[in-house]
């Protein structure tokens, strides 16, 4: 298992194998708290700029999108709105420190 750290966050990545395929799995933690995981399955050889790159990007993107959806739902409930414009969504994401931290980590990859 390989560890990747960024601030309070840590990703544990591993390779798995079965009879017909193989892949990578990444689990995202903040401190000791499990947040989410992402799994990529490969059926033949693949190329990545470094090992586990696809699943690292996948788990961070999944976390960021899930967090954004939660923030959007909270905003809709608070303001009694059914739909949000792209500008409002962008502003909500820009104001969230966690999303900005994840975006900065993604840029470093």
pLDDT of the chain along its 109 residues, tens only? 899 999 899 999 999 988 888 889 999 999 999 999 999 988 776 666 568 889 999 999 999 999 999 999 999 999 999 999 999 999 999 999 999 999 999 998 8
* 97 token code pair: 């420190």
Which pLDDT value is given to residue 49? 58
DSSP label at 30?
Answer: E
- pLDDT of amino acid 48: 61
Q: How many whole angstroms separate alpha carbon 96 and alpha carbon 102?
A: 10
String of DSSP letters for 33-69:
EEEEEEEEEESS----SSTTHHHHHHHHHHHHHHHHH
CB atoms near residue 17 (< 10 Å): 9
CB-CB contact of 42 with 22 (8 Å): yes
pLDDT at 18: 86
Domain segments of the chain as ranges = 2-108
pLDDT at 88: 95
Phi first, then psi, for residue 59 (nearest 5°) are -70, -35
pTM of this structure = 0.85
C-alpha to C-alpha distance for 106 and 26, rounded to whole angstroms: 15
């Amino acid at each position: 298992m390989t560890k990747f750290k960024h601030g309070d966050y840590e990703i544990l990545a591993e390779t798995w194998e079965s009879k017909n395929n193989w892949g990578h799995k990444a689990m995202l933690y903040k401190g000791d708290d499990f947040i989410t995981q992402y799994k990529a399955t490969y059926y033949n050889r693949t190329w990545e700029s470094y090992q586990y790159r696809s699943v690292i990007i996948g788990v961070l993107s999944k976390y960021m999108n899930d967090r954004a959806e939660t923030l959007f739902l909270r905003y809709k409930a608070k303001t009694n709105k059914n739909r949000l414009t792209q500008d409002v969504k962008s502003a909500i994401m820009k104001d969230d420190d966690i999303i900005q931290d994840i975006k900065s980590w993604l840029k470093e990859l």
